[in-house]
Amino acid sequence: MNETVDLGAAEQPHVICTVRGAIGHVLLNRPKALNALTLDMIRIIDPQLAAWARDPAVKAVVIQGAGDRAFCAGGDVRAVWDSGKALQRGEGDGAVARDFFREEYRLNRRIKRYPKPYIALLDGITMGGGVGLSVHGSHRVTTEKALLAMPETGIGLFPDVGGGYFLSRLPGELGTYLALTGARLGAADAAYAGIATHHVPSAQLGALLEDLAAADYGAHAHAAVDAALARHAAFPGEAPLAAHTPSIDRSFNAETVEEILACLCDETQGFDDAWASATVKTLSQMSPTSLKVTLSQLRRGVSLEIEDVLVMEYRMTQAVMAGHDFYEGIRAQLVDKDRQPKWRPATLAEVSESEVERHFQPVPSGDLAFTD
């Protein structure tokens, strides 16, 4: 059975949902924007996933991005920025800045709790919100074109979409390192970190989809998916990240960002000196507030369930929207593109404990809640 779900959308909808044999297929269809996730796209994907979860004819879900460059380069933070700036000017109600994160996080939770195999095909750039659309699923499949990152500390935000959950659970201090630095991972590193579960050459994705659509799922859907993936799987290569893991674990297990930097400075005197020096330089470019808030987020998140982490992160977004650095980070990276953000406060020493704690307080207008 090949049935196209009628979205009532324009000629080129930003999300195309179809049923192909036994699988529900989601295509993120904004290739010129690297399939960046908008609120309207979330509002299509979330109810469709809910419907497929109830449909006995749909045995598994596959999600992928259109074009040859990206799975999903992240959430449409420019729209959130526009909404927040308008509210600051006394124009509008800032609804997008609230609704985007609230509805995105509900979608992240749905994926994490999905009752059927959920297969994300990471055939290109996968960042921020794109990681949220994939990492919570049962099967995360990279190709040789995969490039993954959570770069939010560089725009005055924090690694959200459940980052406090999945990053805090990576081996050793890899998650802390990825969260604070926004380091980019290729396919081999993504497998090494435990973010990717499988690797399939890009040229094999079409055949993989055909196998998944035609598979005999029986009573063991996950086993059927695993078998299909095994027929097309390849070795992603040796992970460059592995050589730096001892330094990462020594440095990023510190209690504060300042102590992490001190440990990294010690590492510059050892065999991993070039990596440590580059990491210190990277951290010096990030929002000091974001660094401290992110470290607290991960330390709290490691003992929380996904729902509690997403409630926490929604609180954090609303605190960020009431601050300075997110607007400055987006201005510098996406609006003026001068790549010269002026963070406020400008140093780690100026970021008080009370300012960090402000990000974890209940939202006066109401916390995130889950309805199903």
- pLDDT for 212-239, tens place per residue? 999 999 989 999 999 999 999 999 999 9
129 is an active site residue: yes
> How many angstroms separate the CA atoms of 152 and 157, rounded?
5
- 190 found inside a domain: no
- Provide the pLDDT for residue 4: 47
| CA distance linking residue 272 with residue 182, whole number of Å | 19
Q: Do residues 312 and 271 share a domain?
A: yes
E strand spans, the chain: 2-4, 15-20, 23-28, 60-65, 70-72, 118-122, 125-127, 139-142, 147-149, 198-199
pLDDT reported for residue 247 = 96
- What is the reported pLDDT for 97? 87
Residues 6+ apart with CB under 8 A from 25: 17, 18, 19, 61, 62, 63, 64, 209
Same domain membership, residue 204 and residue 76 = yes
Residues 204 and 74 in one domain: yes
Residue 7, pLDDT > 80, answer no
Looking at 209, 235, 261, the residue that finishes a domain is 235
Q: Which of 210, 235, 260 is the last residue of a domain?
A: 235
Query: How far is Cα 28 from Cα 26, in angstroms, rounded to an integer?
Result: 7
Active-site position among 129, 154, 164, 323:
129
pLDDT at 287: 99
Q: What is the pTM (predicted TM-score) of this model?
A: 0.95
In a domain, 161, yes or no: no
Query: Would you state the structure tokens that stand for residue 361, as one six-digit string?
Result: 């307080």
Domain identity same for 123 and 51: yes
Domain end call among 235, 251, 286: 235
Q: Is 152 a catalytic residue?
A: yes
Q: Above 90 in pLDDT, residue 93?
A: no
- Which of 152, 173, 267, 325 is catalytic? The answer is 152
Q: What is the Cα–Cα distance from 332 to 343, expressed in whole angstroms? A: 10
CA–CA distance from 264 to each of 10, 260, 276 (Å)? 52, 6, 6
Q: Mean pLDDT for the chain?
A: 96
Measured from the Cβ of residue 96, the count of other Cβ atoms closer than 10 Å reads 20
Q: Find the largest Cα–Cα distance for the chain.
A: 62
* CATH classification of the domain holding 296: 3.90.226.10
Domain span at residue 8 reads 1-149+197-235
- Tens of pLDDT, residues 130-156: 999 999 999 999 999 999 999 999 999
Per the domain annotation, does 17 fall within a domain? Answer: yes
DSSP state, residue 362: P
For residue 121, which of 70, 167, 161 has the smallest C-alpha distance? 70
206 is catalytic: no
- Is the same domain home to 220 and 306? no
128 and 113 assigned to the same domain: yes
Instruction: Specify whether 73 is located in the same domain as 214.
Output: yes
pLDDT tens digit sequence for 314-371: 999 999 999 999 999 999 999 999 999 999 999 999 999 999 999 999 999 999 999 8
In a domain, 172, yes or no: no
Q: Among 365, 131, 181, which residue's Cα sits nearest to residue 290?
A: 181
Bridge-based pairing of strands 60-65 and 118-122 is parallel
In 215-305, which ranges are continuous DSSP H helix? 221-232, 245-251, 257-267, 273-285, 288-301
- pLDDT of 11: 66
Domain presence at residue 89: yes
In terms of Cα–Cα distance, which of 185, 280, 196 is closest to 235?
196
The C-alpha atoms of residue 288 and residue 257 are separated, in whole angstroms, by 9
Has residue 278 been placed in a domain? yes
pLDDT at residue 10 greater than cutoff 70: no
Tell me which of 75, 156, 162, 186 is the catalytic residue.
75
37 and 2 within one domain = yes
Considering the domain architecture, whether residues 227 and 270 belong to the same structural domain is answered as no
The total domain count for the chain is 2
State yes or no: cis peptide before 171, omega within 30 of 0: no
Whether residue 253 is contained in a domain is answered as yes
Q: Are residues 248 and 131 in the same domain?
A: no
Residues 28 and 108 in one domain: yes
Which of 76, 123, 160, 272 is catalytic? The answer is 160
Is the CB of residue 263 less than 8 Å from the CB of residue 250?
yes
Using the 8-state DSSP alphabet, how is residue 180 labeled? H
Counting residues of the chain whose pLDDT is more than 90, the rounded percentage is 91
Is residue 209 domain-shared with residue 269, that is, in the same domain?
no
Instruction: Tell me the pLDDT tens digit for each residue of 240-250.
Output: 999 999 999 99
In a domain, 252, yes or no: yes
- What pLDDT, on the 0 to 100 scale, is given for residue 87? 85
Query: What is the C-alpha separation between 209 and 227, in angstroms, rounded?
Result: 13
